[in-house]
Amino acid sequence: MSAGEGYSFRRAFFRRFICDRMAVGGLCFVVLLFLTAVYAPLLANGVPLFIWSEGNVSVPAMRTFFAPDSPEVVIEGLFNFLMLFLPVFLIIRLCCKKRYAVLSCIAGVLLILPFLFVKPVIEEVDWYKEVPRIRADGGFVLTALVPYGPFETKAKPFEASSPEHWCGTDHAGRDVFARMVYGARVSVLVGFAGVAISVVIGTVIGLFSGYCGGKTDLFLMRFVEVIVCFPQFLLLLILMSIMLDYGSRQSVLLVIAVIGLFNWTGLCRLVRGEVLKRRGMAYISAAECLGVPRWKILIKHLLPNVCGPIIVIFSFDFAGAILVESSLSFLGFGVQDPVSSWGELIRQASPSPVIYWRLILWPGLAIFLSVCAFNFVGEGIRKAID
């Protein structure tokens, strides 16, 4: 960098980060995992994506995008919305340089309407018989990479890997690869939403406790220590069992809420320590002398200076949330069948792990690679910030 150029933290951070090959490799896998979760219906779907036959064009899968046939309609609808919105946003961003934000909001609102008004219908067409007939008549049919949905039982239970079922089938004859693809949606959503909730709670309490000090700090830290005294995973199991006893349905949203509300203590103490180091600095004292409101000091002066450790913790906790969700599902307290989950797939092999080793290998490998990727990214961010 020449003497005339100003120092850019973003540029320096990016240069340091790309020099770490493990971090870059982890980031590539994280992007791949995110794209797999978002575009799962294009990778595994029992309904054709596009049909051209006798001059007629149809998109049978479009209704399933807007009205997914799944117990977790909110989750599937959210990812399907992202699947359709991201290409629209990129086109608007490339074509309109000035008002792309307004146009993107309008496009997003218009795209939400079909999700609200389109209702799911029972599929009456047997596409596994209809698709070969259309192709035999000279038509064109575009199917997903794997022509099986996560809930379709089109094979015998516990089949071995084959050209039709790349990773075999589960105990109900459902394609394991299709269920792993849709299981990525559960892992990504639980990781992002659960950690986002915990980051918000931990950051707010840590900022307020570190800046106010005195009795406020004393009370909040004692409250944090009480929660820390309980083993976190055991606490999650107890809370999940209590909620189930009171009639709560086992849902991805319930897992997200439990992880988010009881996984913030470590970040809270870290943010509090960073705020304590900066509270007596000159720029904070100057802001106080000028009569700047407390909330502005917390948000505009302290938060930007402690966001580095927060980003690092976010990436590490993301990997931890994936492990927690998989563990809860494996023990029967998390995501339940027929919803796809990596932990739920491993649970199916528990009666005989040696015989059903495929149900352990592929989901276990996905969990291992995902956790390693997020840890590599977190370590790369930490080194670049330092």
Range among 58-72, 92-106, 170-184, 251-265 rated most confident:
170-184
Residue closest to 320 by CA, chosen among 276, 267, 374, 273: 374
Q: Give residue for tokens 């086992």.
A: 250
Question: Does residue 368 form part of some domain?
Answer: yes
Catalogue the E-assigned strands of the chain: 50-53, 56-58, 140-142
Q: Give residue for tokens 């070969």.
A: 132
- In Å, how far are 26, 28, 61, 151 from 31, measured between CA atoms? 9, 5, 25, 26
Tokens of 247: 């009639």
- In Å, how far are 11, 47, 119, 168, 358 from 353, measured between CA atoms? 49, 33, 41, 15, 9
3-class secondary structure, 56: strand
Predicted confidence (pLDDT) per residue in 134-150, tens digit: 888 888 999 999 988 88
3-class secondary structure, 51: strand
Question: Does residue 273 form part of some domain?
Answer: yes
Question: Does residue 71 form part of some domain?
Answer: no
Give me the number of domains the chain comprises: 1
**Could you report how far apart the first and last alpha carbons of the chain are, in Å?**
19
Question: Rounded to two decimals, what is the model's pTM?
Answer: 0.87
**Over 70: is that where the pLDDT of 7 sits?**
no
Question: Does residue 20 form part of some domain?
Answer: no
Question: Does residue 65 form part of some domain?
Answer: no
What is the Cα–Cα distance from 271 to 267, expressed in whole angstroms?
6
Question: Does residue 122 form part of some domain?
Answer: no
3-class secondary structure, 89: helix
3-class secondary structure, 52: strand
Asked whether the beta carbons of 302 and 309 are under 8 A apart, the reply is no
Query: How confident is the model over 208-234, as a mean pLDDT?
Result: 84
pLDDT of residue 1: 45
What is the Cα–Cα distance from 310 to 266, expressed in whole angstroms?
11
Asked whether the beta carbons of 131 and 48 are under 8 A apart, the reply is yes
Query: How confident is the model over 176-200, as a mean pLDDT?
Result: 92
What is the Cα–Cα distance from 319 to 187, expressed in whole angstroms?
9
Give the residue numbers spanning the domain of 340.
178-385
Question: Does residue 13 form part of some domain?
Answer: no
Per-residue pLDDT band for 369 (boundaries 50, 70, 90) equals very high
Q: For the residues of 258-293, what is the DSSP string, one character each?
A: HHHHTS-HHHHHHHHHHHHHHHTSHHHHHHHHTT--
**Over 80: is that where the pLDDT of 91 sits?**
yes
**Lowest-pLDDT choice from 81-90, 196-205, 301-310:** 301-310
296, amino acid identity: K
Q: For the residues of 117-185, what is the DSSP string, one character each?
A: H-------S-HHHHHHHHHHTT-EEE--SB---TT-B-S-TTPPP-SSSTT-B-TTSBBHHHHHHHHHH
Return all residues near 264 (Cβ < 8 A) that are at least 6 apart: 197, 198, 199, 201, 202, 205
User: What CATH number is associated with residue 286?
Assistant: 1.10.3720.10
Question: Does residue 127 form part of some domain?
Answer: no
